[in-house]
Amino acid sequence: MIWELVLKKACDKMKKYSGLIVALLICIVIAVAGFYLYSLRITEFVFSGNTLRYSDEELKNLIFTTDIECNPVYAMFVDKHDKEIPFIAKYEIDVEWPDKANVTVYGKDIIGYVYYKDFYIYFDKDGIVVELSNELLDDVILMEGLEFGQMVLYQKLPTKREESFSLILSLTKMIKKNEIDVDKVVFDSELNMTIYRDNIKVVLGKDEYLDEKLTKVKVLLPSLEGYSGVLNLENYREGNDNFWFRQNSE
């Protein structure tokens, strides 16, 4: 009888200690796994999408700003990918376990800018202000002559001529299509257009036959390189070479 009690107590103690040992082993496994996961770091970054405004290294420093953000677990389950980056609308991170991140960048749709109070005000095709910056972008055209009210980020540029934005969109598309380098576009009160390229002033007039006019500009500009003057295509029509060039007097 006594031996049975001793044996029972021994078995109870073994069960108690074995439970503690199992619990301790589980804790150790969890701790080791946690430390392992925490110590992982993304070492390869691949950027795609609209990345022309930034180098890969610049994007890496803008998106992965702290050491923990380079952790694949954090990047997959914690990071909300909501940093505000100039000229970037959003970005997405796809982690290839354990040390590679594929980052897709979506740039803001900018078609032009105006200069106001020492700031470059960039806007999209709908006239929405998408960026206020002191950084001048090389591939965006300056728009002058349009009157705007107070300019507020992410709000539409207030203007009396709503049709001006669709006109700007059409014009910039045709300029890009014809691969013309333009310094600025100037509008008058009737939305007549004049574009400037180096020392050449190109009068386009109304938006009638705009594609034909810009196609002609593309042909003529190389022959005018080194000159200074006015190229007037206001009355130009396809098949009707009604244009003139007046050289500035030196």
Rg of the chain on CA atoms, in Å: 32
**HEC profile for 210-221?**
HHHHHHHHHHHH
Query: Which residues have CB under 8 Å from 65's CB, separation 6+?
Result: 83
What are the pLDDT tens digits along the chain (250 aa)? 554 544 455 455 555 556 667 777 777 777 776 666 677 899 999 999 887 788 899 999 999 999 999 999 888 888 888 888 888 989 999 999 889 999 999 988 899 999 988 899 999 888 899 999 998 888 899 999 988 878 888 888 888 787 888 899 899 999 999 999 999 999 998 999 999 999 999 999 998 899 999 999 999 999 998 899 999 999 988 777 788 999 987 6
Alpha-carbon torsion angle 140, 125, 190, 178, nearest 10: 50
Residue 234 confidence (pLDDT): 92
Q: Is the pTM of this model over 0.85?
A: no
Of 237, 208, 233, which is closest to residue 220 (Cα–Cα)? 233
Category of 8 on φ-ψ map: left (φ > 0), alpha (ψ -120 to 50) or beta: alpha
